[in-house]
A = this chain, B = another copy of it.
Amino acid sequence: MKVKEKKIIKKKLEEIGKSVVEQAKNHKVPYLRIPSRTTNNIVFDPKSLCYVIGNKTIMRSAGNIRHVKPMAQMLKVASFCKDLVEEELKHETKRGLYYISESWGEKLKFDEQPESDNIIEDIEAMIGEPRENFHIIPNPGGAVYGDLTLKFKNPSGKMMKINCLQTADGQTIGPRMSEAEIVECNAKRVIAIETSGMYNRFMEENAHKKFNAILVNLEGQATRATRRLIKRLNEIKKLPVYIFTDGDPWGLHIAMVIMAGSAKSAHINKMLATPSAKWIGVTATDIKKYKLRSDKLKDVDLKRIKELKKDPRYRSDKRLLEELKTWEEIKKKAEQQALLKYGLRYVVDEYFPAKLKEMEKK
């Protein structure tokens, strides 16, 4: 994070406390106004193509005996996070924060982790920043490989530059990686891949050169850190993003969360989602076209397809709706590695170029 950004975050966190102090000084009963994150304040925004938070707010007032404790806890958490931002090199997880609260005394400590998690999300919504920016970090996960040079302070605080080809199996995407400064990027696109097996295939077949791409290993559902890095490559370097998953509703939804975020994270989707990202496949149509070895869709898969068909994120995308219907017709799912029946190189030599051409026409 740059010095300027750091100052802004610190100030936003301080403001929470300051407003309470101000009110008390003016002999008013202090309160905090927090954007409501309940379902009736989450709306689908057809412009940004993701769930966003509405205008409703809730009030937490020192005049309400039931509000006093969570209000004090929120101030304490904001203050703790301000210190983390100030120290610059220190980060903690949500679970770590929960345990740390034990040292805050009986009145402030959290009894259960959902309480502290909830306050962290409230702060995210209040200051409009993902928690990574106030150093409450998600687990690392996923990896990146390609001609991308990043600059960052490593965990020991040493400033360094790395190129993401300088690695045996990819660079882990954690809190420092996802926010690293992009010094140089010679790639023209990002290819995000669901499974480690297919990611390895792409690396070994030199897909990063062939497609002039940054390869990202999602390792299943993308972590926040990975989604953030993808978004930044898209936003800062204007790279189109292509997502390659297994051919089932779960794989498609992995792509959807990268594209449009989730309802639960409506208050920060703008910072995490990449609306222009495109799902390459394996589509239901591909299963037929490429005669892939497939399994029968189970009841739980079919139920999921029904849910997705009602979801506004899918209803605004004709192509995806069609694919959901095709699945219901063929009642089959296939894994991305099923393409290996045509040989190790086929997926990079034939399948992907054909799909890319198709997507770029649209």
Q: Given the interface contacts A102-B341, A156-B203, A209-B156, does A92 sit within 8 Å of B167 by beta carbon? A: no
Contact A197 B139 (CB under 8 A): yes
Pick the contact of A169: B92, B165, B167, B173 (CB < 8 A): B173
List B contacts of A152 (CB < 8 A): 168
Q: Which positions 155-203 of chain A face chain B at CB distance < 8 Å?
A: 155-156, 158, 160, 162, 165-177, 180, 196-197, 200-201, 203
Quick one: given A91-B200, A204-B90, A204-B91, are A165 and B174 in contact (CB under 8 Å)?
no
CB distance from A267 to the nearest CB of B (A): 23
In this complex, the member of A168, A172, A342 whose beta carbon has the largest number of chain B beta carbons within 10 angstroms is A168
**Is A315 close to B, CB under 8 A?**
no
Size range of the chain A interface in the assembly: 35 or more
Given contacts A140-B196, A196-B139, A200-B137, contact A95 B168 (CB under 8 A): no
Chain B residues with CB under 8 A of A208: 156
B197 touches A169 (CB 8 A): no
Select which of B93, B145, B196, B203 is within 8 A of A197 by beta carbon: B93
Interface residues in A112-154 (C-beta closer than 8 Å to B): 137, 139-140, 143, 145, 150, 152, 154
Complex contact A168–B156 (CB within 8 A):
no
Most buried by B among A137, A167, A342: A167
A160 contact set on B, CB distance < 8 A = 166
CB A125 to nearest CB in B, in angstroms, measures 23
C-alpha gap A131/B257 in the complex (Å): 35
Contact (Cβ within 8 A) A169 B162: no
Contact B196 A96 (CB under 8 A): no
Any B CB within 8 A of the CB of A68: no
* B158 and A168 form a contact (CB under 8 A): no
Distance of A44 from chain B, by nearest CB (Å): 33
A168 CB contacts on chain B under 8 angstroms: 150, 152, 154-155, 162, 171-172, 174, 176-177, 180
Q: List 5 A-B contacts (CB under 8 A).
A: A99-B340, A99-B341, A102-B293, A156-B208, A170-B172
Q: What is the interface of chain A, defined by CB distance below 8 A to chain B?
A: 89-93, 95-96, 99-100, 102-103, 137, 139-140, 143, 145, 150, 152, 154-156, 158, 160, 162, 165-177, 180, 196-197, 200-201, 203-204, 206, 208-209, 217, 219, 293, 335, 337-344
